[in-house]
Chains A and B, each alone.
Chain A
């Protein structure tokens, strides 16, 4: 199946700093990628839809100025958590569709962010 990678797999940062997370589709092109956030013992919550060449679409309640999304190419989307605070600590997962013609989404392995 199609492979999606994320980098880094985990990151620890100080409060107030910004952190960038990369999501790559390794063997297919993805015009749309999705970003999710998962707090401990909770399910995945969709944060935003990342569209190549255009602005991301954010879900209600997600601050677009805090979570900057850039879909620079058909194989790369980045999520930047700006001025991170401890409450932003979470597991961030991306997904990308395409390559199979089945509208199937392929998920990255996730990035665990800890803000001190």
Chain B
């Protein structure tokens, strides 16, 4: 059974800082891994999708890496902005997608 752990559970940083969110998972038999953001009371916004054969993906200020064999992924956010404040969810995708509990990020203006 897939178990997903995200560290830290919450993070507050001043605007402009670079930051790293961590995700670990127990079952490496995945097709891909997705990172999402969720604003309070809203649905999911897909940020990045990394295929199991890939090591990383980049989109703008976001970079996600995947080490499938060790069951780890990181989401790097460069030059953080207040608009980045949200909950970030890691979701390894096998036959099912199992979510971590997320990291609640607050960027201080």
When chains A and B are docked, how far (Å) is the Cα of A107 from the Cα of B43?
8
Q: Which residue of chain B has its CB nearest to the CB of A111?
A: B43
Which residues from chain B contact A93 at a C-beta distance below 8 Å? 43-44
- Interface residues of B, CB < 8 Å — how many? 21
Tell whether, in the assembled complex, residue A109 and residue B43 are in contact, meaning their CB atoms are under 8 Å apart.
Answer: yes
Interface size class of A (residues with CB under 8 A): 20 to 34
Tell whether, in the assembled complex, residue B93 and residue A43 are in contact, meaning their CB atoms are under 8 Å apart.
Answer: no
Which residues from chain B contact A42 at a C-beta distance below 8 Å? 101
Which residues from chain B contact A1 at a C-beta distance below 8 Å? 46
When chains A and B are docked, how far (Å) is the Cα of A93 from the Cα of B44?
9
CB distance from A90 to the nearest CB of B (A): 12
When chains A and B are docked, how far (Å) is the Cα of A38 from the Cα of B36?
15
Selected from A44, A49, A103, the residue in CB contact (under 8 A) with B99 is: A44
CB distance from A105 to the nearest CB of B (A): 5
A27 interface residue, CB < 8 Å from B? Answer: no
Q: Contact string, A56-92, partner B, CB cutoff 8 A, digits 1/0?
A: 0000000000000000000000000000000000000
Contacts A/B (CB < 8 Å), 5 sampled: A34-B96, A42-B101, A46-B96, A104-B32, A104-B49
List residues of chain A with CB under 8 Å of any chain B CB: 1, 34, 36, 42-46, 49, 93, 95, 102-110, 112
Besides the contacts A103-B32, A105-B93, A109-B42, what 18 more A-B pairs have beta carbons closer than 8 Å?
A1-B46, A42-B101, A43-B101, A44-B44, A44-B99, A45-B99, A46-B98, A46-B99, A49-B96, A103-B31, A105-B34, A105-B91, A106-B46, A107-B36, A107-B46, A108-B43, A109-B43, A110-B42
List residues of chain B with CB under 8 Å of any chain A CB: 31-32, 34, 36, 41-44, 46, 49, 51, 89, 91, 93, 96-102
